[in-house]
Amino acid sequence: MPVETEAAVASVLMTGEQYEESLRKMKFKVYLQGERVENPVDHPIIRPSMNSVKMTYDLAQDPQHQDLMTAKSHLTGKTVNRFCHLHQSTDDLIKKVKMQRLLGQKTAACFQRCVGMDAINAVDSTTFEMDQKLGTDYHARFEKFLLKMQELDWTVDGAMTDPKGDRGLSPSKQSDPDMYVHVVERRPDGIVVRGAKAHQTGAINSHWILVMPTISMTAEDADYAVAFVAPADAEGIFYIYGRQSCDTRKLEGGTIDVGNKQFGGHEALMVFDNLFIPWENVLMCGEYEFSGTLVERFAGYHRQSYGGCKVGVGDVLIGAAALAADYNGAAKASHVKDKLIEMTHLNETLYACGIGCSAEGCKTASGTYLVNMLLANVCKQNVTRFPYEIARLAEDIAGGLMVTMPSEQDLCNPETSDVIKKYFQGVASVPTETRMRILRLIENLTLGTAAVGYRTESMHGAGSPQAQRIMISRQSNLQQKKELAKNIAGITDKK
């Protein structure tokens, strides 16, 4: 690390308001529900997701949370947002998970910057090793971008998942070559790419995108082994916003039926329509033998992430279920107490895996620390299961009213308001509106827009469950376990 002068350790952190204003200056091309969105920041469906990202900036300004939310840049010594930081120790990896839990608790939604943080850490070590072996200069290009990212406190969207088309065919064998992002032209000043990235978390709330290959490529798929950075509003990029359950409730102007009245997440299809990338922003172009390394490292970091963010949202859901039990008058029932214990057990098990794979991390050649890949995949494998059970138990405790109660408009209608307050009251000391609010929050977390970032994403985010099982098999060192058993059993291999 450089000598820390007063200037060197200065903060480069944006405030939440500055972040919001920076998005207003961008020229995104976004389509939502059949129309072009001129102002994504203030669109009622998109705005809650922006608020979630904004929280990552606001908490970094709070002295109470700066130890988790910020770090010292290994490049400049300046204080940077942890989402712009490369992990320099296992302590950094652990603080990452703790930070994600905190943000999950504060937003009860997806706060979207994790993908970019995981991407920069994977790209750092991969480009360093690529340059060492092949004599390329990708790592220097990446560090130049990283410096800019840290200095301007950018939100960067990591883009990995391609549409894939026919899963039984490799990228170059697809009937439509654009099913995977690929290079269509190499020029003296850069490359031109075409294709799309699907399920892109927080894309429209990002300043830049970092695009990576989605699978390990072979020689015949070299044109698809491409990684690069680009402004999120670059000419040649447009977005089609993903639909979520109950998303149009945000257009109604109320605060009860949306469940989570302030925060949310979003996904979008990111389309590259002959996008030009100057060479200085290209981080892989045909080096297919390193595509698998990049994919696996990104997946490892991102599977670690789920041991933090999903746990934080789980904390909110457990709290909501406990309140629902209070409001229903069922908090003292032994089976309700047992269900809350089970929910807590499952949630803390996820957290333990996130902390465990962090504490067992190791240093890569570039100096960046990598998680324990076996434990990271075990973490995510548990995430494909436990949140579903936590959600089921929350729905059980909440009761059927969660999905049958009238709307907020009916609650506010003078002709029906008193009837609703009378017949949907639980414990007499708790206003009916209060009970409705907590039930709508549970609905939002288990069935509504937040379920995209909690329950459903728990299954498919950071790769399918089978992808984690493949990695667990690779990392399990089964032969060593056989040798341990033979040693204990007194078995000697005879030749």
Residues assigned a catalytic role? 110, 114, 201, 267, 302, 306, 309, 457
How far, in Å, CA of 458 to CA of 471, rounded? Answer: 17
> What tokens appear for 5 in the block?
């002068």
Residue 224: strand, helix, or coil: helix
How far, in Å, CA of 404 to CA of 309, rounded? Answer: 29
Neighbours of 248 (CB within 10 A): 12
Residue whose structure tokens are 């910020």: 70
CA 104, 110, 116, 122 dihedral sign is positive
Q: Which helix (H) or strand (E) holds 285?
A: strand 282-285
Which residues of 33-117 form beta strands (DSSP E)? 35-37, 70-72, 79-81
Neighbours of 192 (CB within 10 A): 15
Residue type at position 79: T
Residue type at position 52: S
Residue 268: strand, helix, or coil: strand
Alpha carbon dihedral 392, 393, 398, 402, in 10-degree steps, equals 0
Residue type at position 366: S
Residue 241 dihedral angles phi and psi, to the nearest 5°:
-70, 135
Distances (CA, A) of 39 to 30, 70, 306: 9, 30, 31
CB < 8 Å & 24+ apart, contacts of 160-165: 160/119, 160/197, 160/211, 160/212, 160/213, 160/214, 160/295, 160/298, 161/197, 161/198, 161/199, 161/200, 161/214, 162/195, 162/196, 162/197, 162/198, 162/214, 163/195, 163/196, 163/198, 164/214
> What tokens appear for 116 in the block?
């970019």
DSSP letters for 156-193: EEEE-----SSTTS-GGGSSSGGGS-EEEEEETTEEEE
Q: Comparing C-alpha atoms, which of 195, 174, 177 is closest to residue 275?
A: 195
CA 272, 235, 457, 223 dihedral sign is positive
